Amino acid sequence: MTTPTPTVRLDNGVEIPQLGLGTARVGDEEIRRIVREALAVGYRFVDTAAEYENEVGVGQGLRDAGLPRGEVFVSTKLRGADQGYAQAKQALTDSLRRLQLDHVDLYIVHWPLPRLDRYVESWQALQELAAEGLTRAVGVSNFLPEHLARLGEEASTVPAVNQIEVHPRLPQRELRAENDRRGIVTESWSPLANGGDLLTDDVVTGIAAEHGVTPAQVVLRWHVQQGLVTFPKASSVERLRENLDVFGFALGEDDLARMDTLATGERTDPRQDPATWEEF
């Protein structure tokens, strides 16, 4: 049987499961099935975003599963097109309508979009949405140290999380240290580096064989063992089960040192540098 998923405490005391389900690049109908199946095999955390255009399907999957609302942690994100004070206040209401929920557990500014220069006023709106009870916690995604510093100077609340691309090829040690210094929990997106050749790398397959686990389990264990919160996306029940089952074994110091050799600094999409990347 799969070991229960531990939780991590956010700065306001809200507990987030350390491993959940990612939902990017999946349409409403398929994500409805995947969310339902994931919750049936034990997932209690689903990460979506307005930009994924699948909040309706995610909400249907949540309802199909029939779990008490308080047992499932749901996060969604403010898309670039909705940045700005008034737009951000409205955007969460729109997301909640699509999800058919009265609150989410975490609401996140998806990208800083520094050229647009609206993330400080967006953040002001998110803090108010939390005070109004529409989200239990608020966070950011893809924020670099300079963006975190600006929020530190101009806002009264520190983000609960910074959701950034992290995997063994891109360990992001400096940005994670900056998050830690500010009391921000790091969430890893694309934890499997999108399921590409990382999972057939000799280092990963070698460690997997030694522990009698799969390459994906080695990589996900690498995340959770370092205290990261993550949410791989998978399509089949077999993979959903496999990815959740990473709390019953541990990587040794030697394994972690071998994993360090995989750090090339490569992003899954080299264009997605948060200093310049724009998506709306």
Ligand X SMILES: NC(=O)c1ccc[n+]([C@@H]2O[C@H](COP(=O)([O-])OP(=O)(O)OC[C@H]3O[C@@H](n4cnc5c(N)ncnc54)[C@H](OP(=O)(O)O)[C@@H]3O)[C@@H](O)[C@H]2O)c1
Query: Residues with catalytic annotation?
Result: 52
Q: Which two tokens stand for residue 54?
A: 């699948």
Which residue among 31, 88, 234, 246 contacts ligand X (CB under 6 A)? 234
- Residue 14 binds ligand X, judged by CB under 6 A: no
Q: Which two tokens stand for residue 175?
A: 């940005």
Contact present, 103 and 69 (Cβ < 8 Å): no
Min dist CB 136 to ligand X, Å, is: 18
Q: Which two tokens stand for residue 277?
A: 């990347």
Min dist CB 232 to ligand X, Å, is: 4
Four-residue CA torsion sign, 219, 222, 224, 229: negative
Which residue among 103, 211, 239, 258 contacts ligand X (CB under 6 A)? 239
Residue of 224, 214, 233 lying closest to 256 (CA atoms): 224
Which residue among 107, 191, 223, 244 contacts ligand X (CB under 6 A)? 191
Cα separation, 205 vs 199, whole angstroms: 7
- Residue 194 binds ligand X, judged by CB under 6 A: yes
Min dist CB 219 to ligand X, Å, is: 8
Min dist CB 220 to ligand X, Å, is: 8
Cα separation, 205 vs 257, whole angstroms: 15
Cα separation, 204 vs 262, whole angstroms: 9
Which stretch in 11-19, 122-130, 237-245, 249-257 sits in contact with ligand X by CB under 6 A? 237-245
- Binding residues for ligand X (CB under 6 A): 22-24, 47, 110, 141-142, 163, 189-195, 199, 214, 216, 231-236, 239, 242-243
